[in-house]
Structure 1
């Protein structure tokens, strides 16, 4: 009898085909308070991390930009201004609740015309080859079941000369790790329960961070997917890292 393939869901091992559904349940649960929780969990610093992505992206008028796992649209609202009327920004998310929150928020901000919304799985992106000038994914790659497949899919739809930027939690400096672990495993689930009534989802999010590849491993994965000149920048002592890769 063939043994079922498994993958990690936080610290649990689950059948490969079940992970996407379990991750979806997490984000359906937290979507309504997602922005508030980001501010509380990071003490607002997530805004500075995303600003760093924006400045290093080099996005210019007329470009096509894809923001994967775009959630409530923090990056998209800035990208839409930068690409202008002749450019295009696509907010893509696998989760319908997050996608709807992003659409509602951006529409309320008057961001219409050059933004489109697509519910999509990063492992099989429904876009033409060599289509986007930039692809960004912020705090989403760790939730993808088969990261290597997703990175290859991103490479295929990026134009030659284009750039992928991955902002994700990573491995902090050793001196910071004990305090970071205490905050993550003790405080965050309690904040999640207080704000959203859902401690388990935030416990999963903490565990998913610990299971995510470290800086050097993710860099090697991007290179294996075809990206050139891969590098990374540690932010907040490595709590978060911004990885970049190019397609030539």
Structure 2
């Protein structure tokens, strides 16, 4: 008979449910297969367009420059890649990765329709097992993807490994709001009741957006994520709250020891 300690090591959260770690990746993949074609529209609707401001802010804090090599991790439909490709120019490179082939296909088609071809590559990859050599990237950005990772610590270690010394990691993710109580209650009501309704009407999928709300609530808060980045080896870690802490941008650097 397995002990409670053993069970803890083989199970994880999927929203508010407890599932086997071996199953979570497939369950997350199923969600994003379902919403891929409506993903961009739903982002605009459910954030009232604020996700565009959050992403532009992330790019500004990234310090990406011409000629650099950047990993857009869990980059989905390529919003950040589109902006980064212009910053790195023809002498730079952006690798757009996602674990979900449906999301990656939507992103590739969108970027090619925008004429973004020469400096972008597409690789289906798991954030926990990045298929890149050590010290490859000047910058890694992961936007609204970390909370879907099964082993966050393992993914942070993988990101640290593939960053060049002096490189930086930026994590844009839903976080813990510091709104005063009436606004906080309104935010949670919106997340748990309105979002699934919008998902049902637009994407024909209430379940996926119910998972979204649940995954946000159990994701590490600002200080917890900062501590996890420190444990992975990152230095000079800071975070920037946006929209009252509904979203936070974490930034950390890899330095030679």
* TM-score normalised over the length of structure 2: 0.95
2 CA distance for matches of 1:237 and 1:87? 35
2:246 maps to which of 200, 225, 239: 239
1 CA distance for matches of 2:31 and 2:213? 12
1:138 aligned residue: 143
2 CA distance for matches of 1:205 and 1:31? 14
Contact 2:138/2:168, CA 8 A, preserved across alignment: yes
What secondary structure is seen at the aligned counterpart in 2 of 1:237?
helix
2:111 is the alignment partner of 1:96:
no
1:110 aligned residue: 115
2 CA distance for matches of 1:38 and 1:72? 11
1:149 aligned residue: 154
1:174 to partner: Cα distance:
4.2
* Correspondence list, 1:9-158, <5 A: 9-158=14-163
1:225 aligned residue: 232
Runs of at least 5 residues in structure 2 that lack an aligned partner in the other structure: none
2 CA distance for matches of 1:51 and 1:174? 23
1 CA distance for matches of 2:21 and 2:140? 26
2:212 is the alignment partner of 1:173:
no
2 CA distance for matches of 1:232 and 1:73? 23
1:177 to partner: Cα distance:
1.7
1:173 to partner: Cα distance:
1.0
2:167 aligned residue: 162
Contact 2:68/2:93, CA 8 A, preserved across alignment: yes
What secondary structure is seen at the aligned counterpart in 2 of 1:168?
strand
* Correspondence list, 1:179-198, <5 A: 179-198=186-205
Q: Deviations over 1:56-86 (max 9, x none)?
A: 1111011000000101110001111110111
1:209 maps to which of 201, 211, 216: 216
Q: Deviations over 1:6-61 (max 9, x none)?
A: 00000000011000000000000000000000000000000000000011111101
What secondary structure is seen at the aligned counterpart in 1 of 2:81?
helix
Q: Deviations over 1:188-231 (max 9, x none)?
A: 00000000111001000110001100000000000000000111
* TM-score normalised over the length of structure 1: 0.99
Runs of 4+ off more than 2 Å = 1-4
